[in-house]
Amino acid sequence: MDTRDTPEQAELRRTARQLARELGPRTVVDFDDAKRARRLADAVRDAGWLELRQQGDDGGPLASGVEAAIIADALGEAVVDVAFTGPVLAADLARRAGVHAVDGAVVGFAPDLIGPARVSGRTTTNAVHAVDCAAQGPAIAYVLAPEGDRYRIVQVPVDGAREGADLTRTIRPIPAGVPVSEVAGSRLLTRRDLEAWAAFGLALTSADLVGLMRGVIDLTVAYAQERRQYGVAIGTFQAVQHLLAEARCLMEGALSAALYPAWAVDALDADDARMAGRVAKAYCARAARTVCETAVQVHGGMGNTWECMVHVYLRRALLSSRWFGDDGEQLRELQRSRLGVADGLS
């Protein structure tokens, strides 16, 4: 047992952080800099990060869940406006179905954002949301078509555009009535496959929350050192110090909880991995809400303006928390699996 990064993992962490710092947005104005966004997207693609969970020569993914989580953490830390988790989840799902995800593919989610959308006919019948895909241009979303107790992976085109709460990642809606097409060569997915995939989703969204907590705490500590009131830096006040100290503790606890599912997705069976993911997600989602709200508060009036970066973290936290189920959802699932609570009990 040794939960430290291997030298390779530590190197990946350094590289990912450096890239995120250099090409990520520093101010809200940077979101409009299309040239930067393009360089960023190219850099992520060139680094091979979108293919991490494609099938490797040995049949398993090219890289482990730990590597994917390290990158998710680094991108969250700098609230980087590039699709990563979406394409990586699509690649992971496609691999389990025995195919390579096509370029630009993401997974289409049901409106609750907890799991993949399901379709039963030749067109979509309910709204589907393509989460964390490229902001513009054509894309495709994988959804599931149930067949007996298994699921076929099928695809739908994405062309609409809408801005969600998160300013750094796109949620594009797919209306009802859009044609569904086959994914050539795919095999049926079992319930187990989907559980293992959901565990990976819980691990990645938890890692993203850990990163963004770290990022927003750094930003807020720097602000508290520089912002002066009553003739002194506000960071000298215990009231402010204690808020930030609590935030740091929450981030550290979240990190400890989130490392385990990232490792577990490749090392443990689907049930155990998903349980690890649920624990991490419940903790990270609650912690991130508090940490981001603290950051807004410590920024005072500035924190309530569009120009201040803290709301970018809070907004990203809202999507990462909700995606694959927020803390309330995870506790409900833990009630079912650990406390024997049956459906319908209120």
Partner 1 sequence: MDFRDSTAEAEFRARLRAWIADNNPGLPVSSTDDEYWARQAEWHTALYDAGFFGLSWPTRFGGQALPSVFDVILDEELAAASAPPRPSLGYLVQGITTHASEAVQQRFLPGLISGRERWCQGFSEPDAGSDLAALRTTAVRDGDDYVIDGHKIWTSYSDVADWCFLLARTDPAVPKHKGLSAFAVPMHQRGIEQRPLRMINGITKEFGQVIFDGARVPAENMLGAPGEGWRIAMTIVSHEREPGEVGYVARYAKTVKDLEKTVRANPAAFRNDQRDGVAWAYVQAEMLRLHVRRRLSERLDGPDHGPGGSIDKLLMTWVEQSVGTAALDLAGSGAVIDGEDVALKIYLYSRAQSVMGGTSQIQKNIIATRILGLPTA
> Given the rule CB under 8 A, which residues bind partner 1?
1-6, 9, 66, 217, 221, 224-225, 232-233, 235-238, 240-242, 244-246, 248-249, 252-257, 259-260, 262-264, 267, 279, 282-283, 328, 330-331, 334-335, 338-342, 345-346
> Would you say 183 and 151 are in contact if contact means Cβ atoms under 8 Å apart?
no
> Would you say 324 and 258 are in contact if contact means Cβ atoms under 8 Å apart?
no
C-beta of 249 vs 302, nearer to partner 1: 249
> Would you say 262 and 69 are in contact if contact means Cβ atoms under 8 Å apart?
yes
The distance of closest approach from Cβ of residue 324 to partner 1 in the complex, given in angstroms and rounded to an integer, is 15
The distance of closest approach from Cβ of residue 69 to partner 1 in the complex, given in angstroms and rounded to an integer, is 9
C-beta of 133 vs 240, nearer to partner 1: 240
The distance of closest approach from Cβ of residue 340 to partner 1 in the complex, given in angstroms and rounded to an integer, is 5
C-beta of 81 vs 327, nearer to partner 1: 327
C-beta of 124 vs 294, nearer to partner 1: 294
Q: What are phi and psi of 229, to 5 degrees?
A: -140, 150
The distance of closest approach from Cβ of residue 86 to partner 1 in the complex, given in angstroms and rounded to an integer, is 24
The distance of closest approach from Cβ of residue 13 to partner 1 in the complex, given in angstroms and rounded to an integer, is 11
Q: What are phi and psi of 228, to 5 degrees?
A: -115, 135
**Terminal-to-terminal C-alpha distance of the chain:** 40
Whole-Å CA distances, 309 to 5, 154, 237 = 30, 38, 23
Cross-strand partners of 143: 154
C-beta of 124 vs 330, nearer to partner 1: 330
Q: How many residues does the chain have?
A: 346
- Cα–Cα distance between 158 and 174 in angstroms, integer? 6
